[in-house]
Amino acid sequence: MRTQVAIIGAGPAGLLLGQLLSRAGIDNVILEKRSLDYVLSRIRAGVLEQGTVEMLHEAGVAKRLAQEGLVHDGFALAFRGTLHRIDLKQLSDKTVTIYGQTEVTRDLVEARQALSRPTIYETDDLALHGIDTDSPYVSFRANGQRHELRCDFIAGCDGSHGISRHSVPTGASRSYERTYPFSWLGLLVDRPPASHELVYANHDRGFALCSMRSTQRSRYYIQVPTEDRVENWSDDKFFDELRRRLPADVADGVTTGPSLEKSVAPLRSFVAEPMRFGRLFLAGDAAHIVPPTGAKGLNLAVSDVHYLFDALHRHYRDNSDAGLATYSARALARVWKAVRFSWWMTGLLHHFPDRDGFDWRIQQAEFDYLAHSRAASTALAENYAGLPY
């Protein structure tokens, strides 16, 4: 088998890159370890930066997004029972759109199928070869047979546990990591949201978030200890704890119901650099992880794809490798700003078990500053709505 770009991973990053390449006439094949049903069933976040929405329009996959996405001009911070609204539109001239990552993936899968571009699911024994040569290839098994996919470049979009980053030679990469001493317990329920905009709450008992997937489906989160388990939380127990952490008027808006899904997610920051190794280019979670507090995970994957597509397009269209040479530096410059923002938001909103009274008073001062400083609120709005590519 032969293609121009082999893409490892059929998540949003891999599918979006494949869609952009296909529309530009650049041949590509996507290889995915999981089944199509598994890929389409993964429940993830759904706060899209304006730049992400624009990229999905550029890729020709935004029709349903435009019809069903919820455009938000702002969000609220809750502290000590009070709410402070961050007006994204007024402060940054940008908005965010609520549209689930599951729906983004479905739109991209359907667009790829419409173009009849190949995606090979349920691959086994996948390995990357010759990434530091001019003739890389990918070996794998599918349907019981062994295959080799020859290519010009490999795009590693297969997440933090995928083969791509782990194929980098020892010593050729450096990683940076911060593990947080708590997790998020999330619950999905078919009930109207508690508020028409997202509410991020800081409370003595821990962080809470009121989010949504649509006008009739809500997503709620509470901070829990790292060792906590879903089995420890009934739906009633979850909703009782959620309400304790919210201002009274927001808590009154929480409508309970049977959960569609509950899960515990640990929080960490991770960056591997560089993001290029010869003919292998990493994108999305294969290169970096951020805590979900700043809603940057999917959006960072899209910005990586923006830079990588631009580099590959210039290579094939203009016979220029300038974009390939600068891909890692360009992507990482934006990645680290998002990592910083996510780290800051996490520190602002969570209860840290090892913090003392001084740290608590600093948190109070930070909220007070945000509530009374347009400059501070503007900085928050600019980062939340998304920095430019």
**Which positions are catalytic?**
72, 200, 292, 296, 384
CA separation (Å) from 111 to 16, 20, 103, 106, 333? 10, 11, 12, 9, 31
Q: Which residues contact 372 (CB under 8 A, 6 or more apart)?
A: none
Q: How far is Cα 106 from Cα 110, in angstroms, rounded to an integer? A: 6
Residue 99, token pair as written in the block: 């549209």
Q: Are 239 and 184 in contact (CB under 8 A)?
A: no
Angle in degrees, 0-180, between the axes of helices 297-318 and 50-58, rounded to the nearest 10: 40
